[in-house]
Amino acid sequence: MTTDSPRWFTSSYSNNGGACVEVATNLPGTVPVRDTKDRDAGTLTFSADSWSAFVQFASRKDTP
């Protein structure tokens, strides 16, 4: 188990319109995600492999 604190960041594509999420990728094997508008509401936690697959899919140019 790690004692590292999450280092949160938003996407460089975020235009600060208020509909953003923050992710922390510094925790081995896990990626927590939270809402920037309500940081105290908790996080969703994904495995690093699942998050990577999601980002790859969302980045596809042919995604509707």
CB 35 within 8 A of CB 41: yes
pLDDT at residue 29 is higher than 90 = yes
> pLDDT class for 1, splitting at 50, 70, 90?
very low
The pLDDT of 26-45, averaged and rounded, is 93
Question: Is the pLDDT score of 4 beyond 70?
Answer: yes
The pLDDT of residue 12: 77
Domain range list for the chain:
8-58
pLDDT score of 23: 94
The answer to whether residues 33 and 9 touch, using CB atoms and an 8 Å cutoff, is no
pLDDT at 63: 56
